[in-house]
């Protein structure tokens, strides 16, 4: 849905600074019945995508699905969050309204926390002259390129998962689509006012699904937000290392393996593959288990046709779990006598049966070969109950579904058709919720929450009666030693490509900077030169929230902390209206200290 609506919007989008906002407004207003709905669908579907991704992460975290063999899916899923948010945030920049301008500036300030590059990134957004069509071309490239990278990362994310179902049930899909369309009509996604340089609005309609990091940064600092984001990412990535749970992987018995491929087909995590036979027996293939991917769920043992119990012999399957072999399960069945037998999944939360049933705990119901049900009934069991996680909520994804299909006779190996089905009961936990009214109510509640957090509560960048002062300095200080001009003889001794007329020793003086505002010093620092040899330009970017009104402002910049060094100074009395953004920029090529 996001891709389809995005392609349609791009067909009408003007990729220029002056035309971007106007083209989207024209599409939204003049073609509201379709173009406006498509734009709103794009917005709401993107927000829903972020919300579902976060809920999925929370669900997997609470379920402990980051341990052992799941580390690959967990780590790639954590990385996907960065792609999701990068895709969504850049999309707001393309609108280039006040929200997009605020987000782009805030993101630039976040990257400027490290002072990397040739100057602060935020310099690209100071005035209309600084924002070029080339910059917008970069935005378009990012908004197309990052989602494509996201798609590739999603493909990598599911590489260790078999039988992936990436499409929702048809009924649910249409219900979600209809809900998003209704939201788009009820509350269309509209642009804010066009980007305005030099001012900040009192409030902004804010998408809290994607833009929540900006208020968090201004409530703390850009560096603090880097620490929060980095620490959260590293903590999530480290969970598989801190909570490793080693269990013995399934083992193949070549003497019994026929190479039928049932185990490889049923494995939920692609841990089993078929390779050419290595023992010379008259079978084409043999199963091989990749231990690092094995979940030790036992589903492979339950799918093995050679796992049939023999009345007075041992169970010798072609593949089995060393820590929980099928022979031990058969022995418990044999001791059950005439009692009912309950095969119970270890991960289900349903209370244990209170009657005199023989309860046999399995790692997963998929570990149960259907022939064991037949064996229990032939040994005199009053009945057999298979109890576990329902299909769709299985701890190992497919155990419940495969068990249900094997008992129903639609998947091999299946339950013997002569077994009376009235003596076999399937009990799944949690029970399916088939209440249409409850499902509709949940969808309406989710839609209301999605609509609200997509715009409300509004964010207030500045308080009442406040203005903003930004200070930007990028300049190379005076050299520690003056450059020396080379003589003709010295130049002749050098290679032709190395005949620079002067030799300059590396190293520069720090820049003294003072900014006095309203009688108090906002900045009084020595800006150190960049680079290992300390010969690069010194950089500084700071922002200060100040009271609005009339204030005396004095700025002084010197090329070296010594008397007689080249210096610039400017002093003025300025009237700052509420919401005004005053930028103090140092550009010697344009006259020195600029008040923008």
Q: What pLDDT is recorded for position 392?
A: 77
Q: What is the mean pLDDT of residues 534-563?
A: 92
Query: Cis ω on the peptide bond leading into residue 217 (within 30° of 0)?
Result: no
**Residue at token pair 């244990």:** 352
Tell me the two tokens of residue 432.
Answer: 């399916």
CA distance 434 to 380: 36
Q: How far is CA 331 from the centre of its chain?
A: 48
Q: Report the run of H or E that residue 26 belongs to, with start and end.
A: helix 20-30
Q: Kindly tell me if the per-residue pLDDT of 150 is higher than 90.
A: yes
Selected residue with higher pLDDT from 432 and 73: 73
Tell me the two tokens of residue 30.
Answer: 């003049």
586 — alpha (psi -120 to 50), left (phi > 0) or beta? beta
Confidence class of residue 353 from pLDDT cuts 50, 70 and 90? low
Q: What pLDDT is recorded for position 350?
A: 67
Question: What is 306-321 written as a DSSP string?
Answer: T----TTS----SEE-
Confidence class of residue 482 from pLDDT cuts 50, 70 and 90? confident
Question: Residue 34 carries which DSSP code?
Answer: I
| pLDDT tens, position by position, 312-345 | 778 889 999 998 999 999 999 888 877 889 999 9
CA distance 476 to 533: 13
Three state DSSP letters for 500-557: CCEECCCCECCEEEEEEECCEEEEEEEECCCCCCCCCCEEEEEEEEEECEEEEEEEEE
For residue 564, what are the CA distances in angstroms to 178, 535, 561? 73, 21, 9
Q: Kindly tell me if the per-residue pLDDT of 118 is higher than 80.
A: no
Question: Residue 351 carries which DSSP code?
Answer: P
121 burial (CB, 10 Å; 0-12 / 13-18 / 19+) is middle
Q: What is the mean pLDDT of residues 380-402?
A: 88
Beta partners for residue 583, in sequence order: 470
Q: What pLDDT is recorded for position 2?
A: 92
Residues 264/294, Cβ–Cβ less than 8 Å: no
**Residue at token pair 């089905």:** 421
Of 386, 396, 391, nearest to 431 (Cα)?
Answer: 391
Three state DSSP letters for 431-497: CCCCCHHHHHHHHHHHHHHHHHHCCCCCECCCCCCEEEEEEEEEECCCECCCCEECCHHHHHCCCHH
Residues 45/5, Cβ–Cβ less than 8 Å: yes
Q: What pLDDT is recorded for position 329?
A: 92
Tell me the two tokens of residue 85.
Answer: 């948010």
Tell me the two tokens of residue 248.
Answer: 């013995």
Q: How far is CA 454 from the centre of its chain?
A: 18
Confidence class of residue 506 from pLDDT cuts 50, 70 and 90? confident
Share the mean pLDDT of the chain: 90
Secondary-structure breakdown of the chain: helix, strand, coil percentages, each rounded to the nearest 5: 40, 20, 40
CA angle 205/211/215 to nearest 5° reads: 85
For residue 429, give the 3-state DSSP assignment: strand
For helices 326-335 and 370-378, angle between their N-to-C axes, nearest 10 degrees: 20
Q: What is the mean pLDDT of residues 74-93?
A: 95
Q: Cα-Cα-Cα-Cα dihedral of 275, 279, 280, 282, to 10°?
A: -70
Pairing mode of beta strands 484-485, 502-503: antiparallel
Residues 525/540, Cβ–Cβ less than 8 Å: yes
Residues 211/107, Cβ–Cβ less than 8 Å: no
Q: What is the pTM of this model?
A: 0.87
Q: What pLDDT is recorded for position 204?
A: 94
Query: What is the number of residues in the chain?
Result: 596
Q: Kindly tell me if the per-residue pLDDT of 32 is higher than 80.
A: yes
| pLDDT tens, position by position, 242-265 | 866 677 899 999 999 999 999 999
Q: What pLDDT is recorded for position 339?
A: 81
Q: Report the run of H or E that residue 287 belongs to, with start and end.
A: strand 285-289
For residue 509, what are the CA distances in angstroms to 368, 543, 591? 77, 25, 21
Q: What pLDDT is recorded for position 432?
A: 58
237 burial (CB, 10 Å; 0-12 / 13-18 / 19+) is middle
Q: CB-hemisphere CA count at 13 Å for 140?
A: 16
For residue 44, give the 3-state DSSP assignment: helix
Q: Report the run of H or E that residue 558 belongs to, with start and end.
A: strand 549-558
Of 86, 190, 92, 94, nearest to 133 (Cα)?
Answer: 94
| pLDDT tens, position by position, 421-450 | 899 999 887 665 556 788 788 888 988 999
């Amino acid at each position: 849905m996001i891709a389809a609506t995005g392609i349609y919007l791009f067909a009408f989008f003007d990729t220029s600074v002056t035309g971007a906002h106007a083209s989207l407004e024209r599409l939204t207003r003049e073609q509201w019945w379709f173009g406006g709905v498509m734009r709103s669908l794009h917005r709401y579907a993107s927000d829903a995508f972020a919300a579902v991704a976060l809920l999925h992460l929370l669900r997997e975290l609470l379920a402990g699905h980051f341990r052992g063999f799941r580390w690959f899916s967990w780590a790639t899923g954590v990385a996907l969050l960065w792609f999701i948010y990068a895709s969504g945030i850049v999309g707001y920049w393309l609108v280039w309204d006040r929200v997009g301008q605020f987000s782009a500036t805030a993101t630039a300030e976040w990257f400027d926390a490290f002072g990397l590059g040739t100057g602060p990134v935020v310099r690209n957004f100071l005035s209309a002259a600084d924002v070029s069509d080339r910059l917008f071309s970069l935005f378009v490239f990012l908004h197309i390129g990052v989602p494509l990278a996201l798609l590739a990362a999603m493909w990598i994310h599911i590489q260790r998962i078999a039988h992936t179902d990436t499409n929702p049930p048809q009924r649910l899909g249409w219900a979600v689509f209809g809900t998003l369309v209704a939201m788009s009509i009820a509350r269309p996604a509209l642009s804010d006012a066009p980007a305005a340089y030099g001012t900040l609005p009192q409030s902004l309609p804010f998408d809290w699904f994607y833009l929540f990091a900006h208020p968090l940064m201004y409530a703390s600092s850009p560096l603090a937000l880097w620490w929060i984001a980095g620490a959260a990412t590293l903590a999530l990535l480290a969970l598989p290392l801190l909570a490793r749970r080693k269990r013995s992987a399934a083992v193949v018995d070549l003497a019994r393996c026929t190479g039928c491929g049932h185990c490889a087909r049923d494995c939920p995590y692609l841990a089993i593959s078929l390779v050419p036979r290595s023992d010379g027996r008259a079978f084409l293939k043999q199963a091989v288990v990749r231990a690092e991917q094995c979940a030790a769920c036992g589903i492979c043992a339950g799918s093995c046709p050679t796992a049939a119990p023999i009345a007075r012999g041992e169970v010798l399957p072609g593949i089995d779990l060393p820590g929980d072999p099928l022979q031990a399960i058969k022995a418990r069945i044999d001791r059950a006598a005439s009692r009912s037998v309950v095969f119970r999944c270890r991960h289900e939360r349903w209370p244990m049966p209170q009657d005199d049933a023989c309860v046999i705990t399995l790692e997963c119901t998929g570990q149960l070969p259907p022939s064991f049900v037949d064996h229990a009934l032939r040994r005199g069991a009053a009945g057999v109950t298979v109890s576990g996680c329902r299909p769709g909520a299985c701890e190992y994804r497919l155990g419940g579904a495969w068990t249900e299909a094997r008992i129903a006779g639609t998947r091999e190996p299946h339950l013997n058709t002569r077994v009376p089905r009235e003596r076999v009961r399937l009990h799944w936990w949690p029970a399916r919720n088939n209440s249409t009214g409850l499902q509709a109510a949940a969808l309406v509640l989710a839609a209301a929450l999605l609509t609200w957090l997509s715009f409300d509560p509004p964010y207030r960048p500045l308080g009442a009666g406040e203005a903003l002062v930004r200070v930007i300095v990028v300049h190379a200080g005076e050299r520690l030693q003056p450059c020396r001009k080379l003589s003709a003889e010295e130049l002749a001794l050098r290679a032709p490509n190395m005949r620079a007329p002067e030799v300059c020793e590396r190293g520069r003086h720090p820049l003294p900077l003072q900014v006095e505002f309203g009688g108090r010093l906002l900045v009084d620092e020595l800006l150190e030169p960049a680079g290992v040899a300390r010969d690069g330009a010194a950089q500084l970017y700071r922002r200060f929230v100040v009271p609005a009104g009339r204030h005396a402002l004095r700025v002084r910049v010197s090329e070296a902390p010594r008397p007689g060094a080249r210096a610039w100074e400017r002093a003025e009395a300025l009237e700052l209206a509420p919401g005004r953004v005053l930028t103090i920029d140092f550009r010697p090529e344009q006259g020195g200290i600029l008040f923008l």
